[in-house]
Amino acid sequence: MNKHYRLRQLPAMLAVVFSISMSMYMPSAQAAFFEDEEARIQINNLNEKIKSAQKAFIELNGQYDLLKTENAKLRGEIETLEKNLEETNNNLRSYYQEINTRLQKFEPQNLEIEGVKGTAQAGERNAYDSALKAFQEGNLTKADTEFSAFSRKYPSSPYWPLSQYWLANSKYANKDYTGSINAAQALIKRYPDHPRVPEAMLTIANCQLETNQKAAAKKTLEAVVSRYGDSKSAKAAKEMLASIK
């Protein structure tokens, strides 16, 4: 009887065991389900944050590109402004130099011309340059006239010795040998140490030879050789002496 009783109770016992087993399993399954759901939520949240970060990065990158473009534009504008400023400064310097040059034409200037110091009055340089240009261009009559006028008008000019030197050469070219000698001697007398003196002496010697004053020419040339040693003028004087018969 006990044996049959236990057999009848077996289904009920199995049901109790299954119930107990299921009760033990269900909390674990439910926990796993909830854990998966929370993980999915966290992943979704993380994805949203990543998307937001990517969007922000794209916006920042766009702003950076815009700033680079604006910066390049500003650099170009700055370079243009600097170039314009440099051109303006150059123009101003040229302008003031031109004004200064123009003013100098109307103001006396302290100059040193080939060792001769003095004050050049307004117009002196232009008058001298005009006479010299005429001589260089072969307009000897004009050169003679202008150098003569210069020497009379500006006797204290630092250009005066040069004016006398070229006046002597102009007169020699015009075959005014007496006038040439007088102009050269005036230079030598007033400025005996001037660097143009030996050349002026050669001009005198040439005038003397042209007027058949050979003895006087030899004397003048010998003085050049004696005073100026190995200078070009002295060498020229020696050659002239050798040619005089």
- Between CA 130 and CA 142 the distance in angstroms is 9
Q: What is the pLDDT of residue 104?
A: 57
Neighbours of 157 (CB within 10 A): 23
User: In sequence order, what are the beta bridge partners of 118?
Assistant: 111
Could you say which residues of the chain have pLDDT below 50?
Answer: 3-7, 10, 14-18, 20-29
Residue ranges of domains in the chain: 28-104, 109-243
Query: How many degrees, rounded to 5, is the angle at CA 188 between CA 185 and CA 194?
Result: 150
Q: Is the dihedral of CA 129, 133, 135, 139 positive or negative?
A: negative
Can you give the pTM of this predicted structure? 0.58
Q: What is the pLDDT of residue 173?
A: 96
β-strand 116-120 against 109-113: which pairing, if any?
antiparallel
Element (H, E) at 73: helix 2-104
**Can you tell me whether residue 191 is helix, strand or coil?**
coil
Q: What is the pLDDT of residue 17?
A: 46
Q: Is the dihedral of CA 100, 105, 109, 112 positive or negative?
A: positive
Supply the DSSP string of 13-26, one letter for each residue: HHHHHHHHHHHHHH
Length of the chain: 245
Q: What is the pLDDT of residue 175?
A: 96
| The CATH fold of domain 109-243 | 1.25.40
Q: What is the pLDDT of residue 102?
A: 60
Give residue-wise pLDDT tens across range 143-161: 999 999 999 999 999 999 9
Q: What is the pLDDT of residue 25?
A: 44
- Between CA 196 and CA 167 the distance in angstroms is 12
Q: What is the pLDDT of residue 187?
A: 97
Backbone angles phi, psi at 155, to 5 degrees: -65, -20
* Cα radius of gyration (the chain): 56
Burial degree of 242 (CB within 10 A; 0-12, 13-18, 19+): exposed
| 184, 209, 234, 243 from 238: Cα distances, Å | 20, 15, 6, 9
Q: What is the pLDDT of residue 105?
A: 59
Q: What is the pLDDT of residue 20?
A: 46
- Between CA 28 and CA 11 the distance in angstroms is 26
